[in-house]
Structure 1
Amino acid sequence: MSLFQHIVLLAVLVLAAGFLSLTEISLAGARKIKLKLLAESGDERALKVMALQAQSADFFAASQIGLNAIAILGGILGEGALRPYFIGWISYFYAGPWLENIGFTLAFVAVTSLFILFSDLMPKRLAMIAPERIAVAVIKPVLLFIRLCKPFSWALNLVANLLFRLFKVETTRDDSITFDEISAAVKAGALAGVLQKQEQHFIENVFELESRAVTSTMTSRDNVVFFSLNEAEDSIRQKIAQHSYSKFPVCDGVIDHVIGYVDTRDILVRLLNKQSLFQLNESSIRTVLIIPDTLTLSELLDKFRATKESFAVVINEYALVMGVITVSDIMIAVMGSWGTPLDEDKQILQREDGSWLIDGSTPAGDMKRTIGLETLPEEENYQTAAGFMMYMLRKVPKRTDSVEYEGIKFEVLDVDHYRIDQLLVKRLAPGTPVE
């Protein structure tokens, strides 16, 4: 054959190998979620791609047969066709004993570079740009090629499966999606401008409901306003006027003896009906939902849905009241500042110098996101900013106590009866010592 015929045949082999590389990467990289969307839009080829991904052994065997056969044939053909020409060109400058070896080396490098560039590097990079679109475009010729290579791929898969069983290698593809993968996709969407920053926080907060305990969002015991069973009407009116709550626990003397709760709407109805005297009795006290402090926010939502309630009292293992929580508290945990009433003091306030004033009851996750940390040390051991400080200090904190983590200083500003009221958080300049 002439040099032109050799080059044409070599180009055909390069294109064939490039096609196999393109299909291999696109079929392996095509995401199941996007393929499902294509299938739902009416593209039946996407279903064929998903079916091939589920049973990919035949395709990869056929692909490797084709790629290796083409590479070997291309090497033989290219080296045999190009070496005489390289030897002829080099002989004008060099005619020593290394002439044959130099011609062989140059032919080998030329053919190898051709296959790497046009049969491997470029097709694979193209396939990674839009794997789903390319996969559905090439699925029909791929299925035809698999049928042609079926006898050879069956034999190879038989040997491969025996070796996998011998070494106990799991070959089933895991298509389950983790929270980390969803979070990464959400972050990528926010960076690309598809999602707004606030929408990103909403989605992440919803998934965190599964891991956040009710104690991270509840109104703590010290801040609970309750009615005593024999509370006077004037005292009830005063508490309702001073505190903008819609529900108040009713206790028998002390907070740990919870009887039920009162909805202020019931009181409003009595006042509208000109019934000035309000008695706390069986007819006015509603049954309260009691939950353990070990529940997650997701589990509490299920309980609210099942009981048709929106208010619960949280108790610990000793049956002591830890606090109260409502559906609105969970909504605030999801929506952040958007879900916070306008008259409620902010838990996190950024100052002009870039530092933050953080309330001790602020959920640790909110503090972490605000100051830009990916993780906090051993987060499973605490729920709030105050809990973080107590865990890091390993003692009951006092004013001016501080810790440093990831170049950020956390300092206790105010303590009320051993409870941390407020933290000052600021980034340290590189090399700044912590006092």
Structure 2
Amino acid sequence: MTFGQNLLLLLALLVAAAFFSVAEIAIAASRRLRLRQMAENGDARAEEVLRVQQQPGHYFTAIQIGVNSLAILGGIVGEGIFSPAFARFLGNWFSPDMAATLGFLGSFVLVTSLFIILTDLIPKQAGMAEPERFALAVIGPMRILVRIFSPLVWIYSRTADHLMRLLRLPSRRDERVTSDDILALAEAGTRSGVLARGEQRIIENIFELDTRTVSSAMTQRDRIAWFREDDPADIIRARIAEEPFSTYPVCRGDIDHVIGYVDTRDLYQRLLIGQSISLADNKLIHKVLVVPDRLTLAEVLEQFRQVGEDFAMIVNEYSLIVGLVTLNDVMSTVMGELVSPWDEELIIQRDDNSWLIDGATPIQDVRRVLGIEEHLHGEEYETLAGFLMDALRRVPRRTDVVSLGGYHFEVLDVDTYRVDQVLVTRSAVSHPSAAAVVGPRTE
């Protein structure tokens, strides 16, 4: 063969090897969700790609046969093309034997470089950039090649399957989609600009419903507006005017003896038609849903769905009322800052290194904002105030300071025994992961 023919043959081998390289990376990198969408839209090639991804053994065997065969042939053809030319050129300075050796090495380096750049790096970068497009383009020719190589494919595939079973390696890709996968996709979508930051937070909050307890979203006991069953009408009117809510617990004696709840709409309806709003009328009192404080928000939603209610009282293990939760509370947890912008914010960022945080803030929100998830585990506490109590081993007092993970938590205000405000500042010096109690700060 002439030099030109050999050069064309080498070029053909490079193109064929590049095709196999694209076919390999495109199938591996193609996203199943996008392929499934294409298949549902009627693209038969996408359906074929999905089948190959489910059982890729024969497909990749054919690719490896082609890649390795072409690489060997390319080396032989390239050595025949370039080695003599390099040897003649180098013969002007070296002995014939040395020139032949250096010519072979030069030919080897050149051909290897051509295969690395033209059949590996460039095709795989292109395949990674648009995997579905290239996968659909190559699936037809690859199906034909798999049939052509079927005898060799069968031998190599059976051998590989036996070896994988002996080594106890998986032969199929695990296609299960986990919550971590979805959260990672949401984060990637936010970074690329496809999702807004608020939309990503909604997705994260939805998955947190299975881990966040109802206590993180409840209205605490001391903030509950409630009626006694023997309250007169004027007290009921005054309380509704002062603390307007849609529902109120009705108790016998004290808040720990809840007998039901009253809906404000029922009271308004009676007032409009001139009837008494005395709670002595049992028709006004509805049966209340009572849930333990260990339930997650997802479990509370399921309870709401089962009983058809959107309001529940929360009790602890001693059957004492610790708070109440509504459907709106759960939904506000999911939607985050996208809803109720008029509500008082629990976390206010003052500058890049300081935050003013309410003591009742759920610990999940605190660790997410501060970025110290590995330190604030929240196993023994559910709020920022609970963390401070756990670290101090007593009820926090004003000016108490706790250091953790490079942050200082200083108690600014305490109402009786309730931690109202905590100033969190980030220091430039790193701190150990364990909480360090600094104690009261003296001015």
TM-score category of the 2 structures, normalised to the smaller one: over 0.9
- Report the Cα distance in structure 2 between the residues aligned to 1:352 and 1:14, rounded to whole angstroms: 58
Whether 1:45 aligns to 2:45 is yes
Paired position in structure 2 for 1:279? 279
Paired position in structure 2 for 1:149? 149
The offset of 1:376, in angstroms, is: 4.5
Alpha-carbon contact 1:267-1:278 (below 8 Å) kept: no
Whether 1:33 aligns to 2:41 is no
1:347-404 deviation per Cα after TM superposition (whole angstroms, max 9, x unaligned): 1223367522111111223333434556553244433222333344454332222333
- Report the Cα distance in structure 2 between the residues aligned to 1:394 and 1:95, rounded to whole angstroms: 86
1:315-366 deviation per Cα after TM superposition (whole angstroms, max 9, x unaligned): 1222221210001101211122332262x32212233675221111112233
Gaps of 5+ in 1: none
With over 3 angstroms needed to count, the CA separation of the structure-2 counterparts of 1:364 and 1:90, relative to structure 1, is same
The offset of 1:247, in angstroms, is: 1.0
Task: Summarize the alignment of residues 280-319 of structure 1 with structure 2, pairs less than 5 Å apart.
Answer: 280-319=280-319
The offset of 1:48, in angstroms, is: 0.7
Whether 1:349 aligns to 2:319 is no
Identity of aligned residues (%): 46
Paired position in structure 2 for 1:93? 93
Task: Summarize the alignment of residues 204-243 of structure 1 with structure 2, pairs less than 5 Å apart.
Answer: 204-243=204-243
Alpha-carbon contact 1:409-1:425 (below 8 Å) kept: yes
With over 3 angstroms needed to count, the CA separation of the structure-2 counterparts of 1:392 and 1:275, relative to structure 1, is same
With over 3 angstroms needed to count, the CA separation of the structure-2 counterparts of 1:85 and 1:352, relative to structure 1, is closer
The total of aligned residue pairs comes to: 434
Alpha-carbon contact 2:375-2:405 (below 8 Å) kept: no
- Give, as a single letter, the amino acid of the residue that structure 2 aligns with 1:186: A
Alpha-carbon contact 2:55-2:172 (below 8 Å) kept: no
- Give, as a single letter, the amino acid of the residue that structure 2 aligns with 1:70: L
With over 3 angstroms needed to count, the CA separation of the structure-2 counterparts of 1:151 and 1:396, relative to structure 1, is farther
Q: Bigger CA drift: 333-342 or 197-206?
A: 333-342
Alpha-carbon contact 2:214-2:297 (below 8 Å) kept: yes
Q: Secondary structure at the match of 1:112?
A: helix
Paired position in structure 2 for 1:169? 169
Whether 1:57 aligns to 2:57 is yes
- Give, as a single letter, the amino acid of the residue that structure 2 aligns with 1:413: L
Paired position in structure 2 for 1:399? 398
- Report the Cα distance in structure 2 between the residues aligned to 1:353 and 1:299, rounded to whole angstroms: 37
- Give, as a single letter, the amino acid of the residue that structure 1 aligns with 2:315: I
1:157-185 deviation per Cα after TM superposition (whole angstroms, max 9, x unaligned): 11111122222222221112222222222
- Report the Cα distance in structure 1 between the residues aligned to 2:152 and 2:212, rounded to whole angstroms: 54
- Report the Cα distance in structure 2 between the residues aligned to 1:309 and 1:56, rounded to whole angstroms: 50
The offset of 1:424, in angstroms, is: 0.7
With over 3 angstroms needed to count, the CA separation of the structure-2 counterparts of 1:274 and 1:428, relative to structure 1, is same
- Report the Cα distance in structure 1 between the residues aligned to 2:382 and 2:142, rounded to whole angstroms: 53
- Give, as a single letter, the amino acid of the residue that structure 1 aligns with 2:157: N
Q: Secondary structure at the match of 2:285?
A: coil
Alpha-carbon contact 1:293-1:315 (below 8 Å) kept: yes
Q: Bigger CA drift: 125-134 or 391-400?
A: 391-400
Q: Bigger CA drift: 92-101 or 30-39?
A: 92-101
Task: Summarize the alignment of residues 185-196 of structure 1 with structure 2, pairs less than 5 Å apart.
Answer: 185-196=185-196
Q: Calculate the aligned-residue CA RMSD, in Å.
A: 2.2
With over 3 angstroms needed to count, the CA separation of the structure-2 counterparts of 1:339 and 1:36, relative to structure 1, is same
Q: Secondary structure at the match of 1:423?
A: strand
Paired position in structure 1 for 2:418? 419
Alpha-carbon contact 2:367-2:376 (below 8 Å) kept: no
Paired position in structure 2 for 1:384? 383
Gaps of 5+ in 2: 439-443
Paired position in structure 2 for 1:360? 359
The offset of 1:24, in angstroms, is: 0.3
The offset of 1:217, in angstroms, is: 0.3
Q: Bigger CA drift: 56-65 or 330-339?
A: 330-339
Q: Secondary structure at the match of 1:203?
A: helix
The offset of 1:80, in angstroms, is: 2.8
- Give, as a single letter, the amino acid of the residue that structure 1 aligns with 2:298: S
- Report the Cα distance in structure 2 between the residues aligned to 1:384 and 1:111, rounded to whole angstroms: 65
Task: Summarize the alignment of residues 61-210 of structure 1 with structure 2, pairs less than 5 Å apart.
Answer: 61-95=61-95, 97-210=97-210
TM-score, normalization by structure 1: 0.93
- Give, as a single letter, the amino acid of the residue that structure 2 aligns with 1:61: T
With over 3 angstroms needed to count, the CA separation of the structure-2 counterparts of 1:352 and 1:67, relative to structure 1, is closer
With over 3 angstroms needed to count, the CA separation of the structure-2 counterparts of 1:298 and 1:431, relative to structure 1, is closer
Q: Bigger CA drift: 378-387 or 68-77?
A: 378-387
- Report the Cα distance in structure 1 between the residues aligned to 2:229 and 2:31, rounded to whole angstroms: 61
- Give, as a single letter, the amino acid of the residue that structure 2 aligns with 1:79: E
- Report the Cα distance in structure 2 between the residues aligned to 1:157 and 1:277, rounded to whole angstroms: 81
The offset of 1:106, in angstroms, is: 0.8
With over 3 angstroms needed to count, the CA separation of the structure-2 counterparts of 1:364 and 1:75, relative to structure 1, is same
Whether 1:333 aligns to 2:339 is no
Alpha-carbon contact 1:313-1:323 (below 8 Å) kept: yes
1:89-129 deviation per Cα after TM superposition (whole angstroms, max 9, x unaligned): 10112226522221111111111111111111111111000
TM-score, normalization by structure 2: 0.92
- Report the Cα distance in structure 2 between the residues aligned to 1:376 and 1:266, rounded to whole angstroms: 48
- Report the Cα distance in structure 2 between the residues aligned to 1:296 and 1:361, rounded to whole angstroms: 17
Paired position in structure 1 for 2:13? 13
The offset of 1:426, in angstroms, is: 2.1
Q: Secondary structure at the match of 2:261?
A: strand
Alpha-carbon contact 1:10-1:77 (below 8 Å) kept: yes
The offset of 1:141, in angstroms, is: 0.6
- Report the Cα distance in structure 1 between the residues aligned to 2:417 and 2:352, rounded to whole angstroms: 29
- Report the Cα distance in structure 1 between the residues aligned to 2:379 and 2:176, rounded to whole angstroms: 24
Paired position in structure 1 for 2:324? 324
Alpha-carbon contact 2:279-2:285 (below 8 Å) kept: no
